[in-house]
Each structure stands twice: as structure tokens, then as C-alpha cells.
Amino acid sequence: MDMKQYGGKRNWKDLAAILNDNESFVFSTHLQPDADGLGSELGLARYLKQKGKRVYILNPSTLRTNLAFLPKDGEVQVFNSDDHAKILSETDVFIAFDIGNYDRLESLCSALEISNILKISIDHHPGEKSQFDHTYDFPTASSTGILIFDLLNEIDDSVLDDYEIALPLYAAIMSDTGNFRFDNTDPETFQAAARLVSAGVKPNDLYIHIYEDLNTSGRIHVLKLLLNELKYDCDGRLAWSVIDYEKLSGLGVAPDDMNSLSDFIRSINGVEIGVAITKMPEQETDISLRSKGRITINTVAMKFGGGGHAFAAGCRIPGTLLNATKMVVEECRQLIKRWDANA
């Protein structure tokens, strides 16, 4: 399958040289890694290891349970400065995947600031990346996974026939396109998916792992609370739900069960903007925003120090859950009013 028509849009020459000329790498992705960040780092790491390179994957937080099937034992670690600072100081290149903003690397940021390691970003999000020596950011790409696919296709397209590389890349691309239903799904995405399926990836198996395995008994309790707390404004076009983790104490709810709730809210008929507002103990309030595709909502996230895509974004807000809710809901309300005025 000829993918050169797509690879020609991006220049990977310098990055390919960096990968070839260096021997050791540290990879990482954003806090609470998703399939795109994880799949991208696994795909490139496995290729480099085949070439005899040393690769350490050090992420800022643990994986969601529905993604545990992707890495092999010991392949991904949670970064700890006491255990891993020496690795950073002795490694040639650091690559961040899919982070959106530099500060989403969390505790890795301070370790990187005192290191002379070459720092690279590969991403499909716009965001603050001035801390990197090189950025390979392409906001029009459907996912970071498609960028790694394109990079490997440019370097040596035969490696895309390797199932161990194809599997995480397919998971990355599938996840960030909402199983190929979001409006970022383009011809390149389908071409890449077809190539990876030809390497042995089974789409149904991946769908079950990533989407259906989310629905634990604990998550059902979360969804019950979400429905009970659901509120509407702007003639039903704005919907939000506020969930305090402490209200679910004793029900067997895991932190993982609190993820991906705004997608559910957005799916309600008539809703243009869906917002999930969640609070974990001793953490800032987490805001997840989703749009049906007509109203750009990453401006709301950026107002509060976050970011993301035009129709899928998020941020964290310090202070009380009540105040965070008031601020975000009012900002979304005003956004819809401005959209109405310009329609």
C-alpha cells in the first residue's frame, strides 16, 4: 500500500537522523496517558529496540486499566526522580509524545530542566513547547499515532508489517479518532489503519479492550451519579455533570472509572457542548470538554491554563469544586451566546 502521498506532507529527515545517530532514548507522554500517547511511544520504542537502541518509557502517571494490554512487563514505568534521574542524565535524547503542553509532563519537567538531554516533542496538539530543542508538531494530523506511522513509513515501511509495532499504532490512531468517527478522521487515517490491519491487528479485539473494558461495575456507579447530577442550559445545548469522587466512597469505584465522561454527555441529543467536572481527593478540579463539532471549545480550556483540540479539550482548576464549576459553566454559556450572535 503506497503511503508516500501522505508522508510527503511532512519532513522527517532531521528526526530520522537524530534517531539513527543516537543510542539511548527516554520517551514519555502526558499525565494519565491515553492510547494515543502510549501507543505512539510503544510503536517507536519497539522499532528502535529492534535497531539495538536503548529506550526507557517513563510516564508521569500509571496507565488506565483498559490500556494495560498494550505494554509488555516492564516496558513502561512511572517516573520517579529518585529512581530515574540518573537515566535522564545519561541518555542522549528525550522525546515527549502527544503532551499538548510541556507542563503536562508533571514531575518530569523539573528533572528535564536540570538535564542537558536533547528534548524533542512529537504531537498533533497546539501548545506551549518552547522548552524543547526540536518540535515535530502537526495540528492537522488525526493523532500522534499517525505521525509515528508516517515517520516509520518514511524510514522503513517494512517495519509496519511487524504486529508488535502495528498493534500500539492502531490503538493510538483508533482511540484519537473515536474509533474512526470523529471529524479528524481523514483518508490518511483509513489508509494507515488498513495497512496495520494487514499486519494482523484485529479491530474488534482493540475496540473491546479500549472501549468496552471501560465499563466496570465501578464505572456504572459513576454513570449513575453523572445522570443524577446532569444539568442543562442554553436550551439544552450545554450540559454538564459534577462528580465528587468522595461521594462514591465504598462503592468500589477506581480513579480510572472517572475518565471519558464528557464523551457520554456530548452524545445526548441536542447537546452541543458536554462538560464533565470531576474532583479527586487532594487534587485540582478536572474539567473535560467535548463539542459536537460546530462550536470550538479549546478556548475555554486555554482560559484556565489547559488546552486540546478544537472539539475536545480539558484543564485543571485549583480551588473548590463549586467555584470551578461556576467559572467553567459560565464560560461555556458565554461561548454559546457568542456563537449564536455570529451564526
Sign of CA dihedral 116, 118, 123, 127: positive
Q: What does pTM read for this prediction?
A: 0.84
Torsion of CA 3, 4, 9, 11, to 10 degrees: 120
* Ramachandran class of 238: left when φ > 0, alpha when ψ lies in -120 to 50, beta otherwise: beta
Distance CA 46, CA 264 (A): 34
Domains of the chain (ranges; CATH) run 4-210 (3.90.1640.10), 217-342 (3.10.310.30)
Question: Which residues touch 166 (CB under 8 Å, ≥6 apart)?
Answer: 43, 160, 195, 196, 199, 200, 201
Distance CA 297, CA 312 (A): 7
Among the listed residues 279, 221, 215, the one whose alpha carbon sits nearest the alpha carbon of residue 251: 221
User: Which helix (H) or strand (E) covers residue 4, if one does?
Assistant: helix 4-7
Contact indicator for 103, 112 with CB cutoff of 8 Å = no
Q: What would the DSSP string read from start to end of 232-291?
A: EETTTTEEEEEEEGGGGTTTT--GGGGSSHHHHHHTSTT-SEEEEEEE-TTSPEEEEEEE
Predicted local distance difference test score (pLDDT) of residue 327: 97
- 97 beta partners: 29, 122
Amino acid (one-letter) located at 132? F
Of the CA atoms within 13 Å of residue 252, those in its CB half-sphere come to 7
Predicted local distance difference test score (pLDDT) of residue 213: 78
- The cell for 6 is 501522505
Q: What are phi and psi of 247, to 5 degrees?
A: -70, -15
Of the CA atoms within 13 Å of residue 24, those in its CB half-sphere come to 9
Predicted local distance difference test score (pLDDT) of residue 8: 47
pLDDT tens across the length of the chain (343 residues): 455 444 447 999 999 999 999 999 999 999 889 999 999 999 999 999 999 999 999 999 999 888 999 999 999 999 998 889 889 989 999 999 999 889 889 999 999 988 899 999 999 987 888 999 999 999 999 999 999 999 999 999 999 999 999 999 999 999 999 899 888 899 999 999 999 999 999 999 999 998 887 788 999 999 999 999 999 999 999 999 999 999 998 899 988 888 889 999 999 999 999 999 999 998 999 999 999 999 999 999 999 988 888 898 999 999 999 999 999 999 999 999 999 998 7
Q: What are phi and psi of 188, to 5 degrees?
A: -60, -40
Distance CA 303, CA 331 (A): 9
Question: Which residues touch 90 (CB under 8 Å, ≥6 apart)?
Answer: 24
Angle between helices 13-21 and 144-156 (to 10 degrees): 70
Question: Which residues touch 2 (CB under 8 Å, ≥6 apart)?
Answer: none
Predicted local distance difference test score (pLDDT) of residue 7: 44
Q: What would the DSSP string read from start to end of 20-66?
A: HH--EEEEEE-SS--HHHHHHHHHHHHHHHHTT-EEEEEESSPPPGG
